[in-house]
Amino acid sequence: MIKKILGIAIFLSLALTACENNSFVQTNIDLATRQIGMELDGMKAKGKWLNPVTLKADGSVHYCGYSDWRSGFFPGSLWYLYEMNGDTAFLTAAKALTAKIEKGKTLTWHHDVGFIIECSYGNALRLTGEQYYAGVIVEAAKSLSTRFREIPGVIQSWNVNGNSWQAQRGWECPVIIDNMMNLELLFHATRLSNDSTYYKIAVSHADRTLQEHFRPDGSCYHVIDYSIENGTVRHRQTAQGYADESAWARGQAWAIYGYTVCYRETKDRKYLEQAVKTFRFMKNHKNMPEDLVPYWDMDAHKIPNEPRDASSAAIIASALYELSTSPVESPGAYKEYADRIMKSLASPAYLAPVGTNGNFLLMHSVGSIPHNSEIDVPLNYADYYFLEALQRKRNIEE
Ligand code: GLY
């Protein structure tokens, strides 16, 4: 009898959790549909497709062109929303905005082709199966591969000629941890083309980054500068973090996400172990706030009076949902942590009321404090990874 009552109680509690999860996901899909729908209505009124990135100091929306590293995120968000809400107005917009950045496949002067094309064209191919999208992905991988430097065995992130701020730092071949996010495009291109060149470049980059970017505690540097001539490390520094030796929050997030993808694509456990190690570093950090939305840099000197970075939280949440389906110890704990992040991000502290925040979803992200740029603002990549996390949460729970 007692066993029967216990069984019924467990069943009811599981059913209740399933209902709560379902309603959390649906509520947020509905809110995002209304908020981004208002952005699309605005474009309709103006008669042109625009690619929103963030809010400017005067409160107006900053829109970007195809070569901006963030140009794939809004189209990608539209694909995720279409997938979750089935509304063909989002499909039309996703197709139009994806087509608008096709020239991104030809970019060879920076490393962000992976972000640009995989978030937009990668999702387009996944959801439509149209082979035209596959062609763009392979061409983009070809462009990204031109930045591979044989001797250090890495993809160069930034150019160091001309008058750019990167050129003034004295670097030869700078590689930023963010670059791990471009590898998904290369893995994808090998699957589509059967040309293993892209896969090999991705693995070489991931291996050298594993060797050079990480500290014994699992955290990572932002920039490693290599010698083009002999491949040695010239500098270990930061560009967007608080200090060379600090833990820039989004950098840690890129590392967790990037190595999770590398594990998915290669099944090499050392990548999974690095993703877990960097996640544990963040999770156990003395400055991780209770709501799990990191400060922009975990070592910034005025904590707790430093801006948070919702984009880092969203990237980590999305990666954790994937980790929770990987062969890790206690996978459920990864999902539980991701759910806690999502609960914070979906709270009024971070999720903007519909019709505010320039029609972006999340508030309180940081672009680059050292460059005095985009501080405590909405950012389209925070929204993109929030929606991706929502989609992953929904898939896992279904
Ligand atoms: N470079 C990409 C970022 O700011 O995270």
Using the structure block, give the residue that is written with the tokens 């899909």: 29
Position 1 scores a pLDDT of 64
The preferred substitution site among 54, 68, 69, 379 for testing ligand 1, maximizing ligand atoms within 8 Å of CB, is 69
Quick one: DSSP state of residue 347?
S
Position 17 scores a pLDDT of 65
Residues of the chain with pLDDT under 70: 1-2, 5-19
Residue 54's identity, in one-letter code, is T
The preferred substitution site among 119, 178, 373, 375 for testing ligand 1, maximizing ligand atoms within 8 Å of CB, is 178
70 Cβ below 6 A of ligand 1? no
Ligand 1 center from residue 268 Cα (angstroms): 26
130: Cβ contacts below 8 Å, ≥ 6 apart: 124
Q: Report pLDDT digits (tens) over 192-236.
A: 999 999 999 999 999 999 999 999 999 999 999 999 999 999 999
CATH number belonging to domain 1-48+260-398: 1.50.10.10
Ligand 1 center from residue 239 Cα (angstroms): 10
- How far from the centroid of its chain's Cα atoms is residue 229's Cα? 32
From residue 127, alpha-carbon distances to 80, 83, 121, 288 in Å are: 9, 8, 10, 36
Residue 75's identity, in one-letter code, is P
Question: What number does the ligand 1 atom closest to the CA of 112 have?
Answer: 1
Position 3 scores a pLDDT of 72
Position 380 scores a pLDDT of 99
- Residue 376 token pair: 């405590």
Q: Based on the residue annotation, tell me whether 112 is a catalytic residue of this protein.
A: yes
- ∠ CA 20-36-75, nearest 5°, is 105
Ligand 1 center from residue 298 Cα (angstroms): 16
Ligand 1 center from residue 136 Cα (angstroms): 23
Position 21 scores a pLDDT of 78
Position 16 scores a pLDDT of 65
CA distance 232 to 208: 11
Position 379 scores a pLDDT of 99
8: Cβ contacts below 8 Å, ≥ 6 apart: none
Q: Based on the residue annotation, tell me whether 291 is a catalytic residue of this protein.
A: no
Position 22 scores a pLDDT of 84
Please state the domain extents for the chain.
Answer: 1-48+260-398
Position 4 scores a pLDDT of 75
Check the CA dihedral 250-75-65-377 and report its sign. negative
